[in-house]
Amino acid sequence: DIQMTQSPSTLSASVGDTVTITCRASESISSWLAWYQQKPGKAPKLLIFKASSLETGVPSRFSGSGSGTEFTLTISSLHPDDFATYYCHQYDTFLSSFGQGTKLEIK
Amino acid sequence: EVQLVESGGDLVQPGGSLRLSCAASGFTFNKNAMSWVRQAPGKGLEWVSTITDSGAGTYYADSVKGRFTISRDNSKNTLYLHVMNLRAEDTAVYYCVKSWVGGTTPNAFDIWGHGTMVAVSS
């Protein structure tokens, strides 16, 4: 099974900062990677699919890149609403898996 | 409006069973693969199981294989998860999720239900 490793586990930043979250796959998954945002008590929300494609309605300050085993999610000019937990998700096969999550906190 | 509404979660004793249901609306249910994802209290997301559009293909995480069964009734636009031989570590919110496009290839999860809580305790 494919293991996904996210870093960092926790990230402290301020409104207006630009932050980057990294996700590594234990084997190549081409570009079959998605990113989700989750706020406390809520279901996750799809932000990016196929590594770099922005889901409809998601602000353009969110961007994704990478292929193979290394992927990044970048959030530019952080808004107060962006402080949440972020997960990567590989779907190279039906046996999909998630990273352990990155909690983005206000500094 | 695309919507997924889960039900069936409960407090059960170890070794017990439940059937979770997910009522889908607002999209062509029989055109999409569907999945269950769970989240233990204070923990991250864990993929549990996926079923293809027709139901011909089913896939499970190792942690639930042999104990959980995913199924669907396309005539009722409903997804199910039959969970058996429950353990304390199965305690979680169980989310019903829709694959972004397609029914026979893996894809991102674009629509999530609100979740249903399963608690396993004596």
Whether B56 has its CB under 8 Å from any CB of chain A: the answer is no
Chain B residues whose beta carbon lies within 8 Å of the beta carbon of residue A32: 106
What pLDDT does B104 receive? Answer: 83
Interface test with chain A among B5, B36, B38, B45, by most A beta carbons within 10 Å: B45
Neighbours of B26 (CB within 10 A): 12
Please list, in sequence order, all residues whose beta carbon lies within 8 angstroms of the beta carbon of residue B24, skipping any fewer than 6 positions away.
B3, B4, B34, B77, B78, B79, B96, B98
| DSSP states along B19-38 | EEEEEEESS-GGGS-EEEEE
Triad A95, B49, B87: Cα angle to 5°: 115
What pLDDT does B105 receive? Answer: 87
Considering CB atoms only, which of A32, A50, A98 is closest to B47? Answer: A98
Distance from C-alpha of A47 to C-alpha of A60, rounded to nearest angstrom:
10
Question: Mean pLDDT across the stretch A16-43?
Answer: 98
CB A99 within 8 A of CB A85: no
Do B106 and A97 count as a contact with CB atoms less than 8 A apart? Answer: no
Considering CB atoms only, which of B44, B114, B115 is closest to A87? Answer: B44
Q: What is the CA radius of gyration of chain B?
A: 13
Interface test with chain B among A94, A100, A103, by most B beta carbons within 10 Å: A94
Q: Dump pLDDT digits (tens) for B26-73.
A: 999 999 999 999 999 999 999 999 999 999 999 999 999 999 999 999
Question: Closest Cα of chain A to B79: distance in Å?
Answer: 17
Q: Dump pLDDT digits (tens) for A31-88.
A: 999 999 999 999 999 999 999 999 999 999 999 999 999 999 999 999 999 999 999 9
